[in-house]
Structure 1
């Protein structure tokens, strides 16, 4: 028998599929339902693919192949998320241009993906760093700008002095840069933002349109957006000519309990309030120290609340009383208005601060069934209740008071009902070279001028200096100096590039029309395929990437460019690949190279192991023995087919009416039903593989004298069931069975419901709780018939000899328990 050699047959079939354009997206199959299968595209690092990639792509490819075999027209594209800081760092370290380094890595990863036998439509490949792609990223930026959704504003940003770039909040970990671990500083810079907050309500509400998203992911998105209903309360500051300071609170019912205001160190009013005050120097030192601390080190529950009294007073909006104004570490400018009202009797954080600095603590809510706490409070009461010490609102239920006090504020022009969000507008400016240039120029005469769309792309220049000390774009005179598109006079280009999350926020739309040279994509083509039906990727992207993609899709929908209002119908977060219980990483020395596994065992073995070893949404702990077990299984299938391939020369009809043939036929159709549901509905790929393995066991134990036609059908259907999992070996076996065409173009098997009906079942016979016998009875027999048949068997009579039967318990289809003494 010829040996199974993956290194021979896998390249052969990959070339045949490629030459035949086997997986090109169908364009003229209107009668078929569509299916858009997509995996998150990779960043082209110099290290190639890792096992997390293999898991992601194997799952996506399985689903795409399964859907094709089930009669869908499938789009299954791939590309590269190719801009980003790592390429720029590589340019500095290696003395190479980021473009050359990135394009080389993109080609390497494409070759490795091809070795996995992935059914991508390579004609739709996009690299986000190519001018053909980023031309339209710039086009979309201008669309946002035209719609008032892109703006430039000065603000405090996270600045990494080593990377020389702005970091988003999520890129700062414990006060340090997520890439180089340098201490992050706060810096005021002119930055470009996108108004994602204008879509905050829709981004929350439309999560209800996504029943196929995991609740965990939807909760993460809701928490990130952080929608809170409450009231804006405006205090005035007499010493600043009644300048207002606004606070947002979800508990306006506690307004009469305010004993101080707290401003964030970054709040613009702080500078005015501390000038000339006795403790000005001490406050400035505190502000410098606090501004550069991480959010966690300022707001954590276990972090000491520290602050300074500015000496200024605010006027309470309803009582007119004086309220001292403090500056403290636990208030952030990024959240709310950067100012909070201190209500220590009814807020734990405020209580800690007031207790530490001896500030008044006024109780204004008592429990509904209790009395107001007398004397010194030991902790804040944060529940609902009845208002006290609240003037005209005394005796009102706190829930009613929330609306009543907000209404009173609105009547007096001192506030209003409002909604606040944790979400802030998306800061997209990055001070680096290897990103999409922002298509804006600055003219002394015309001001801020967008580059006309017909002049796009604004290309990245080659004459730049990579020294790691500045934004390389600022070193290119040919780039910076330009002409104003409006007046023709001298102007300078924007040297910030866009956050790379921009690139991945619309790539799934470009895939639908990747060669369009006039616009990002054609609406007709996008509407044919959108939304993505099945999106697979790591849980680490469950907030920002998905949120930004949803934002982009809604803006483009509003602009009339696409019908879809959500980009991904179903998002499936896969679990991590571990080794020895830890995430694979070079620093831990536990990395397993996918290419080494393919070289030794073949791509099909790598795919089968990664699909079988764990539930797809769970962590997968790498096992060398598990890989070898998958390889042995494929060898077993190989031998099984070759041992019986003569059956297919003059194949007899299947006659599964009785005996072993009937049992194998039932097992086959049980397997078809389970694999279909596990892959198509439940996405439990590991249990699908397990079911096929049990079927193979059943075929191996099939008696030689039993019906040959049933055996042939079971073998053929087994190979078809395995095809989406292990495409190379099944394609080879299909042809060795003498079959025509590609196995991947065969219709998916349908189970025979009648075959699943069992006429007889085996049940356990217990005597006093211990299994002593197995009995075969009619599957539809009632309790009386089961008891009668079991009790009439000679084996049971012998076991009960000399005993008196006290009771017989029958569980139909499972067991009979006889109680006897």
Structure 2
């Protein structure tokens, strides 16, 4: 007998909504637990990646609720972004707002169909004025503290999307979204000064004990802290100095050339009157069209060109040539790099290519007289300083300190800490985003919009063709305004904000989504924050997770929150694959969650994505696996409805402790409770937890074969109820139905989590292998 999943799932979804089962109070005597999955972009329909992410979060939320926590488990929509605008361009008859709302309605229906335990009263979309008003307000907090600024900069430009991209949105020289090759352009852009928080962002990674090491390592590398010395190289013919940052001052005597970024401000002065000037300028034009990622990729050939100019080695006073190369960027360090071919592999290869001298200045301790001509690769290790004048014979580590002190004493350099992290470029030349709340007045200049005038609303009537400037620039009703300072004519900023701004603070808004006096109520935020468990893809390790940490630290400094990190624990789930590849329309291997739910039921599909692989691993889609999960749920249904009469199974209070087979079976029940408790709430090994439930179900079928006179009804009842309670977070509909069928009045999802007895899980006998006399 198969159970009617359509009828049962529809029944309980309607009942839960009517009873407001998942509506939770902000203030409760129970301990709080904030469980959050990364909210989705409303692209149209749920995909299996969504399904897996939210199924994981729902098990965590439901099990924590049963363990006595007051659980906040909300859902909303990361609703601004380019796809909505592109849909308007493509179809011509649909507005981005309408497209977005239509998709939200579809995806909300699908999420409810899956039975996720969200508190839907807290739902919001970032494109709603009630939300982006506070996004704009937060921008102004950065602005008033000098952390939001506008400047001309060489930026990543996607010709296809006709907008600027942050460095993190460029992958292997192409736009992360549309895969078009990215160009470099110089535009006036808005930035947030994330570099002001570089030290805190790096140091506080140590607090994140509940984060995967790989995520912390990725952030550490992206921030890229390095200690070194900024050294001055004199250009005698110009009476100018070129500053270079290095972490290896001990190799300074080995510098045999200098390399500048094509954008370096001294380039034109260096080229004046040089016969190489024409060729150098042509090289610069070619290189500047390449994206930053392309120029620094390890797979890209390092190219350079001699400028015809020279500078002096700061210590040896030898003349060394100045080159321009594709791998040096103005935005990193000082835009100039010293070439030490004997002790840096990239420099060695560059020197070999352009026949530049190689000078050994660090001698390995166990070798003697390493000759430059005999090197086949750079020596990167430590050793003893040679060919370094008065510093000869010093261990290289001591040499770093000695040379740094010498340079500082002579005014030739200074010790410095550098970061790879750049300020966050947030301007986007598109319509569907939060408007930047700034106006430009001919009299007053750049003026922030007063907080009382927020939100700056997006106009509805705009043209969406990508022209290289925001569609808002062609909307007179939006563009022309009055200066809030002098009352004269002014124009609004027409760029909108990067959508990562919206997602950098949304987890706070869930604590008070209808709050009108501020972005959140601090009392409520202090109750709920930080998020106890955050769940999402590792692809967000640098972008979203770093930006969220930055926002949190800034908001803490403002006194708006009491936590310094947004997420205590982080789980990064793997992808859902089919035929060994990530599901995508282009590969034709997409499986629709909705179609699977219609065919097998929500509980079955949930069970499969939780059972088929550990959360952090990629999951290979298998319809046979789905069918297996369906068979298991039907076995549970038969076990409770046909094999055992749970309502009448108990004969009253147990008169004596179980013995024999009953004792063995009760021990198995308590061992299963222990394993599933640990696997579900501590280790998140949902696949092994489900395996343990399946084993207990099999054991119950076997226990049923024991003669009735030998069975203890209380042992059977405890085991059956434990199966339903332990399975409830994974398969909420069927367990709710069976709980009701067996005579229980209150929802199974409001029942306490089963507790194992430590004394019962100990085996009476164990086998010990002993070896005697070999």
Distance 1:210 1:602 in 2: 38
Q: How does 1:6-25 map to 2 (within 5 A)?
A: 6-25=5-24
Q: CA contact under 8 A between 1:116 and 1:604: conserved in structure 2?
A: yes
Kept after mapping to 1: 8 A contact 2:360/2:371: no
Q: Which residue of 2 aligns with 1:777?
A: none
Match for residue 118 of structure 2?
120
Counterpart check, 1:404 vs 2:365: no
Match of 1:693 in 2: 694
User: What secondary structure sits across from 2:349 in the alignment?
Assistant: helix
* Matched residue, 1:372: 369
Could you tell me how far 1:728 is from its partner in structure 2?
0.7
CA distance in 2, matches of 1:367, 1:647: 78
Cα-to-partner distance string for 1:338-365 (whole Å, 9 max, x where unaligned): 2101111211111111222222222222
The alpha-carbon deviation at position 469 of structure 1 amounts to 2.6
> Aligned partners of 2:299, 2:55: CA distance in 1, in Å?
44
1:656·1:710 contact (CA, 8 Å) conserved in 2? Answer: no
1:352 aligned to which of 327, 349, 363? 349
Give the match for residue 737 of structure 2. Answer: 732
Checking the alignment, whether the CA contact within 8 Å between 2:156 and 2:291 is kept in structure 1 is no
Q: Aligned partners of 1:162, 1:300: CA distance in 2, in Å?
A: 23
* Residues in 1 aligned to 2:384 and 2:193: alpha-carbon distance in whole angstroms: 40
Q: Distance in 2 between matches of 1:282 and 1:729?
A: 75
Measure how far apart 1:76 and its partner are: 0.6
| 1:582-597 map, 5 Å | 582-597=581-596
Q: Compared with structure 1, are the counterparts of its residues 417 and 468 closer, same or farther at alpha carbon in structure 2 (3 Å cutoff)? A: same
The answer to whether the aligner puts 1:528 opposite 2:533 as a matched pair is no
Aligned residues: 765
Deviation at 1:97, TM superposition (A): 1.1
TM-score (structure 2 length as normaliser): 0.96
- Structure 2 residue aligned with 1:230: 228
Distance 1:585 1:656 in 2: 57
Instruction: Please report how far the alpha carbon of residue 192 of structure 1 lies from its aligned counterpart in structure 2 after TM superposition.
Output: 0.6
Distance 2:707 2:219 in 1: 59
Aligned partner of 2:285 in structure 1 is 288
* Deviation per residue, 1:503-527 (Å, 9 max, x gap): 1110001111111111111221111
Assess, with a 3 A threshold, how the Cα gap between structure 1 residues 420 and 205 changes in structure 2: closer, same or farther. same
CA deviation map 1:736-770 (0-9, x unaligned): 00111110000001001222122245x6xxxxxxx
Q: Which residue of structure 1 lines up, in the alignment, with residue 756 of structure 2?
A: 751
**Partner residue of 1:322?**
319
Q: What is the alpha-carbon distance in structure 2 between the residues aligned to residue 479 and residue 660 of structure 1?
A: 79
Give runs of aligned pairs for residues 513-552 of structure 1, distance below 5 A.
Answer: 513-552=512-551
2:47 equivalent in structure 1: 50
d(CA) in 1 for partners of 2:707 and 2:568? 49
**Cα 1:245–1:4 shift into 2, 3 Å:** same
Inter-CA distance 306–734: structure 2 relative to 1 (3 Å threshold): same
Task: Confirm or deny: 8 A CA contact 2:640 2:646 kept in the other structure.
Answer: no
Structure showing greater radius of gyration is: 1
Contact 2:26–2:524 under 8 Å retained in 1: no
Partner of residue 683, structure 2: 682
Contact 1:386 1:394 in 2 (8 A): yes
User: Contact (CA 8 Å) 1:363, 1:372: kept in 2 or not?
Assistant: no
Shift of 1:160: 1.4
Q: Which moved more, 1:79-88 or 1:229-238?
A: 229-238
Residue 66 of structure 1: aligned partner: 63
Unaligned runs of 5+ in 1: 764-809
1:606 aligns with 2:564: no
Give, in angstroms, the shift of residue 461 of structure 1. 1.0
- Pick which of 228-237 and 560-569 moved more: 228-237
The alignment partner of 2:71 has SS state of strand
Residues 360, 372 of structure 2: 8 Å contact kept: no
Tell me, in whole angstroms, the C-alpha distance in 1 between the residues paired with 2:5 and 2:156. 51
**Superposition pairs for residues 661-676 of structure 1, below 5 Å?**
661-676=662-677
Query: Are the counterparts in 2 of residues 256 and 364 from structure 1 also a CA contact under 8 Å?
Result: yes
Q: Any residues of structure 2 matched to 1:405-484 within 5 Å, and which?
A: 405-470=403-468, 471-484=470-483
In the aligned structure 1, how far is the partner of 2:531 from the partner of 2:88? 35
Aligned to 1:310: 307
Whether the aligned pair in 2 keeps the contact of 1:175 and 1:292 (CA below 8 Å) is: no
Matched residue, 1:99: 97
- Are the equivalent residues in 1 in contact too, given 2:137–2:454 (CA < 8 A)? yes
RMSD between superposed Cα atoms in Å: 1.8
Contiguous gaps of at least 5 residues in structure 2: none
Aligned equivalent of 1:87, options 77, 84, 90: 84
| Structure-to-structure mapping, 1:119-268, within 5 angstroms | 119-242=117-240, 244-268=241-265
- Which residue does 1:785 correspond to in 2? none
